[in-house]
C-alpha cells in the first residue's frame, strides 16, 4: 500500500502538470524508451516501426538490439490472449510494470529485515524511499526498470538467505531485462563463489552460480551472432547512443560544464543525485551493509557514472541501485513516526513534481 500510494500520488501530480503544460499524459507516459519497448513487443526486433531511431536519428537493422528482450517479450505474451492490439500491449506493459514494482516492494521489505540494524519498519521505509526516488516516475511507465529491480531485489534477498538456486534463477531473468544485470551477475556470482570456496550449503551455490550468467551473457552472445561481432552489443550502443565506458570523464565534464553556466532544474537534480549516490556508497560500506549488496550498488554506479552517452539518463539509470537507500532507511527507522512520515511525505511531493517535470517540461529523453 505504501508503494502504490506514493506512485498513485505521482500520477496525480503528473496529471496536474500535464494539464498545466498542455502535454498529453498518455503521450508523456509512453515516450522515449517506452515507445521502443512497445514497438519491439508489437513486431519483434525485425519489424520495429520505422519512426523509431537512435540518438542520432538513424536506424540500422541492429539498432533495436540495444534493448534487452525480457520486458517486450513479456508484453507480447500477455497481450496475445487479449487480441494483440496496441491497446492490449499498452495494458500489458502497464500491468507488468505495476506488478513488478509491487514484487520489488515486497523484496525490499525482506531486505530491510536482513541488513544489520534492520527491521520490518526499516523495510517499509526502504519501500517508501524507493517509490519516491527522484526518477521513480519510470516505475509507472512502460520502462524496464521496475521489472529489473524486482528480479534484482529478490536475487539479493535470496543471496542473503543463502537460497542459491532461486538467487541464480532471478539473476538469469534479470540478465534478459537490462544491461545493468552485469552488476548483479558480479555480485551474485561472487557470493556463490565465496560459498563454494568456504564449502557452504553443499551443491546449491554451485548450481546457483552456474545459473547466474546465463541470461545476460546468453543475450550478448545472441547479439554477437546477429551482428557478426563478438562485441556487437557494445558497438551498436556506441554507434547509436555514443554509450561507451570512459571511466567517468564524460560525467565529470557534464557536471563541471553544468556548474559553470545557468543550470536547468533537471541538470541540477541530476548532479545532486550523482553526488548523493557517491556519498551513500561510502556510508553503506561504513555501516557494513552486506558486501554482496554493496558490490551490486557499486557496479551499478560504475556502469552509470563511468559511461559516456546521454547525461539526462544518469539519474534514471541509478534506479536499480536501490540498496544505496538502506543507510537512509536504517537511520530514519530510529526516528519518531511523525518525523518519518513528514520526511517521506515531503520527499514524495518533491520527487513526484520532478518526475512530472521531466516528462512534461524537460524536452530531452530521460
Query: Is residue 142 scored above 90 in pLDDT?
Result: yes
Residue 109 CB-density burial (10 A; 0-12 exposed, 13-18 middle, 19+ buried): buried
At 85-126, the pLDDT tens digits run 999 999 999 999 999 999 999 999 999 999 999 999 999 999
Total residues belonging to the chain: 366
* Helix-then-strand count for the chain, H and E: 18, 0
pLDDT category of residue 80 using cuts at 50, 70 and 90 = very high
Percent of residues, the chain, with pLDDT higher than 70: 100
- Cα 246 to Cα 139: distance, rounded to the nearest angstrom: 29
Phi/psi of residue 361, each to 5°?
-115, -50
Phi/psi of residue 212, each to 5°?
-50, -50
Of 111, 208, 192, 121, whose CA–CA distance to 153 is shortest?
111
* Ramachandran region, residue 117 (left: φ > 0; alpha: ψ -120 to 50; beta: rest): left
Residue 207's pLDDT is 97
At 312-363, the pLDDT tens digits run 899 999 999 999 999 999 999 999 999 999 999 999 999 999 999 999 999 8
HSE, side-chain direction, 13 A CA sphere, residue 47: 4
DSSP code per residue over 75-90 = HHHHHGGGTS-HHHHH
At 251-289, the pLDDT tens digits run 999 999 988 888 899 999 999 999 999 999 999 999 999
Per 3-state DSSP, the chain is made up of helix, strand and coil in percentages (nearest 5) of: 75, 0, 25
Residue 214's pLDDT is 98
Q: Mean pLDDT over all residues of the chain? A: 96
Residue 325's pLDDT is 98
* pTM score: 0.97
Amino acid at each position: 500500500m505504501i508503494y502504490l500510494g506514493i506512485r498513485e500520488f505521482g500520477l496525480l501530480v503528473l496529471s496536474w502538470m500535464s494539464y498545466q503544460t498542455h502535454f498529453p499524459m498518455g503521450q508523456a507516459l509512453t515516450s522515449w524508451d517506452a515507445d521502443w519497448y512497445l514497438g519491439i513487443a508489437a513486431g519483434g526486433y525485425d519489424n520495429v516501426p520505422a519512426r523509431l531511431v537512435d540518438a542520432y536519428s538513424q536506424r540500422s537493422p541492429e539498432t533495436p538490439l540495444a534493448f534487452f528482450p525480457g520486458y517486450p517479450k513479456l508484453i507480447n505474451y500477455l497481450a496475445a490472449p487479449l487480441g494483440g492490439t496496441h491497446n492490449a500491449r499498452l495494458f500489458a506493459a502497464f500491468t507488468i510494470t505495476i506488478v513488478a514494482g509491487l514484487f520489488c516492494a515486497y523484496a525490499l521489505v525482506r531486505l530491510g529485515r536482513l541488513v544489520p540494524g534492520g527491521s520490518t519498519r526499516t523495510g517499509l521505509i526502504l519501500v517508501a524511499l524507493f517509490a519516491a526516488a527522484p526518477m521513480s516516475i519510470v516505475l509507472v511507465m512502460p520502462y524496464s526498470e521496475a521489472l529489473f529491480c524486482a528480479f534484482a531485489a529478490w536475487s539479493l534477498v535470496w543471496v542473503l538467505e543463502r537460497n542459491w538456486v532461486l538467487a541464480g534463477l532471478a539473476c538469469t531473468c534479470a540478465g534478459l531485462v537490462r544491461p545493468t544485470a552485469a552488476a548483479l551477475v558480479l555480485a551474485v556470482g561472487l557470493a556463490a563463489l565465496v560459498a563454494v570456496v568456504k564449502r557452504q550449503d553443499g551443491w546449491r551455490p554451485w548450481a546457483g552460480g552456474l545459473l547466474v550468467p546465463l541470461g545476460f551473457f546468453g543475450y550478448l552472445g545472441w547479439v554477437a551472432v546477429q551482428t557478426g561481432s563478438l562485441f556487437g552489443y557494445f558497438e551498436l550502443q556506441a554507434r547509436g547512443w555514443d554509450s561507451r565506458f570512459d571511466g567517468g570523464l564524460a560525467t565529470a565534464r557534464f557536471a563541471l560544464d553544468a556548474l559553470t553556466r545557468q543550470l536547468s532544474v533537471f541538470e541540477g537534480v541530476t548532479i545532486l543525485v550523482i553526488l548523493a549516490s557517491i556519498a551513500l556508497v561510502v556510508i553503506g560500506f561504513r555501516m557494513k551493509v552486506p558486501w554482496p549488496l554493496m558490490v551490486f550498488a557499486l557496479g551499478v554506479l560504475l556502469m552509470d557514472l563511468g559511461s559516456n552517452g546521454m547525461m539526462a539518463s544518469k539519474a534514471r539509470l541509478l534506479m536499480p541501485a536501490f540498496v544505496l537507500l538502506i543507510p537512509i532507511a536504517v537511520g530514519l527507522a530510529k526516528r519518531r513516526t511523525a518525523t518519518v512520515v513528514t520526511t517521506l511525505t515531503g520527499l514524495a511531493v518533491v520527487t513526484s513534481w520532478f518526475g512530472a517535470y521531466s516528462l512534461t517540461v524537460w524536452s530531452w529523453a530521460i
